[in-house]
A and B are shown apart, each in its own frame.
Chain A
Amino acid sequence: MNEIAGAPSFADVVETYAPALLRLAVMLTGDQSDAEDLLQSTLLRTVRHADRVADMTAPSAYLRQVMLNEHLSAGRRLSRRVRTVPSDAVTTDPAVPSGAETVDRRDEAWAWLSGLRPQQRTVLVLRYYEDLPDAEIATVLGCSESTVRSHAFRGLASLRERLNPSVGGDPS
C-alpha cells in the first residue's frame, strides 16, 4: 500500500488484478503463452497512466478495457510463437462440422473457440465467462447491443452445429 496516504499504489493495483486479467487473457486468446503476452502488453500500456490508475476507485473495468483493446488490435493476432498441433486437428472454419466424434465436449468447444473471429470470441467470453450484460458488452466493444446478441446467437448456433453436425443449424 502507499506509504504516504494509505491509498493503493499502481503496483498494488496491478498486482491485485493481474490474476483475474491473466484468466481473462487465457479465455480471449485460448493459449497460455499468448495470454501472458497479452497481460504483459496490457500492463505496459497502463503503466503510462500509473498515477491515474492508482487513483481510480474501480480500476478493474479500465484494466479490462485496455486488455480488450490490446487483444482486438491486429497485432495481437499475429503471433510469432511456434505452434505445434496435429495436422488433422487444425480447424480452419468453425462453422464447418468436423464430422468427428468428440471425446470431451469441453475440449471440442475449446477447439471451436480457437477458430472464431476475435470479436465473436470476445463477446462469448464477456457474456459467459465475465457474465457481463449485453449492454455493457456493447459499451466496452463499441458496438450495438444487437451486434452483441447477433454474435452470441450465431456463436451458439455454430457451436451446436459443431457438436451435432447431423442436426443442422445456422451455418454462420
Chain B
Amino acid sequence: MSDVGTLERMFGDPWDPANPLGHAAAVAADEREEMFGEGERLLDRFVLNAEFVPVEYGGRLTGLDRLVRMMRPVWRRDPCLGLGYGASSFIASVNVWTAGSDEQRRAFARMMLANRKIASVYHELAHGNDFARAEFAATPGPPGTLLLNGRKEVVTNAKRADSLVVFARTSPEEGSRSHSQLFVHKEDLPPGRMTDLPRFRSMGMRGVQLGGLLFEDCPAPADAVLGAPGRGMETALRSFQLTRTALPSMMVGVLDTGLRTAIRFTSGRALYGRTAADIPQVRATLAEAFADLLVCDAFGTVAARAVHLLPGETSVYASLVKYMVSKLLIEAMDRLSLVLGAQFYIREGEHAVFQKLLRDLAVIGFGHAARVACLATVLPQVPQLARRSWPAAAEPPADLFRPDAELPPLPFDALTAAASGRESLSTGPGALLDEHGADPDVRRLAEVFARELAALRDEALALRPRDLGVAATPEALAVPARLAAVLAASACLGVWRHAGDPFLKDPAWVVAALTRLTARIGTGDGRLPAPLAERLLSETLTRYADGRAFDLAGGPIPG
C-alpha cells in the first residue's frame, strides 16, 4: 500500500519522544545540521521517489494533487526531508518529463526508483531569480561533447546527487533562446573537472545539503541536452507551473504541525489560573490559522487539479499560488508563535519543533522564486486576461473542485509558458451570485470579490506596456497580488459548492476563509467575528482530539 495513511502510520506518532521518526529526532538532526537519517531510510523503504515518476515509467505519479497529499506527511514532520529528499528530486524530474527524450525519461525513472538522488542545478548567487542572465555555460567541445564551465551555488543535494539537471547558457546571445537544460550523470564526467564547493550553511533547512559545483572545461555528452537546444528557458517556465503549484501546497503540512504544536501548548498550560486555550485572543488566533490553512489547501488543490484540467491556464495559477500560499503560511506561523510566547524561542523540549519549522519555512519562502518574481511573471498577462476573460469567461469544470474526482494524466506537453489570456477560475464569486438561495454571508463576501475582480479589470486595462516589465510599479504589481486573493476566494467557493463532506458543505469555513482573504484586498481586517471563530475552533479541536489532519481531506494521522 502506498497511500497517505500508510505513510503516516509508518512515520508513527511524531510526539512520542521515543519514536526515532518523531519530532524530537528531527529536531536533533537539525541541531547537528544533518539530514534526518531515519526519515530518509523510511522514505527509501517507501520508495517515495516513485511518487515523482509517471505510471507509464513504472512509478506512482498519477496526479499533482495526489502527489501534494502524499508529501504532506513528510513536510508535517520535517521540511528538510520534504525538500532534501522529496521536492528537490521532483523539481529536477519535471524538466525531464516536460522536455526529455523517451530514453532520458527511462534513465531518470530507473534512477529514481532505485532511491538515487538527482539535483536540480539552477541557482547562481550572482543572478538569483534572473535565470536569463545565468552565466554557467555549455559550449561545443570535441565532437559529441559539450564543455561545461562555471559555478552553481546554493544547490540542494549538489554533493550527494548521482545525477544533475543543469541549467546552462548555450548561446552568448541575450534573450530567452540562449539556454538549455542538461541531464548529466556524475559518473560520465572525467575526474577533476567538476569540484564541490563548500557547503552553504543557512539558518533554516539546516539539515539540507546546500552545496555548489564548479565546472572547469568539463566535458559532458552532447546528447545530455533535454529537448531542443536553446529551449531551456521555456522548459523551466513550463516546469515552474508544476513546482510553483505543488511545493507551497505540500508545505501546508508545516502549518498543520505548527497549529498542532500551539494547541498542544495551550491546552497543557495554566495561565492566570486557567488554560491558555480559554483565552479568547488565543482561540481566535488558532481559529484563524485553521482558516488560513484551509485557504492554502483549497487554492493549492484547485491549482494542482487545474494543471490536469486546464493546462492552458496554469501559468497564472501556479505563480499566484506560490505568491499567496507561501505568504499565508509564514504569517500564520508568525501569529501562532505569539501563542507559544517564550516557549517558541526555545530549541529544546516538546515544542522545539516549532522554531525549527519557522526557520525552515522562512528559507523555503524565499526559495526558488521570490514572491515578487511570481507577481512579475503574471503581470504581463494581466491586460490580456482582463480583455479576454474578465468577467465573462465560462465556468471551469466542476471536477476542478472535487478532490476525489478522477483526473486525466498530467499533460506535460500541453503546458505553455504563458497562458493565452485565458483564465476561468475567477468566475467563482460571480457564478455564486447568480445562484438562488445561497447563504447570505457567503453571498455578501462573494459580492466583495466579484467587485474586486471588476475593479481589477479596470486597473488592468489601464496598465501601460512599460508598467509590465522590470520597471513595474508597486501599484501594478498589486494587481496580480489582489488577483491571487480573488482566485483563492474562488477556489474556496468552488470547493464549498461541490463538497459532500458535512464540514466542507457547511458555509462556516468558506465564510471564514473569504473573511480572512478580505485583508488581502484591503476591504477588511480579516479578523473572524467571535461566533465564527468559535465554530472553526470547535472543528479544529475535534480534529486535534480525533487525530485528523487540518487540511481539506482531514485524514487520520497518528499522535
Do these two chains interact?
no
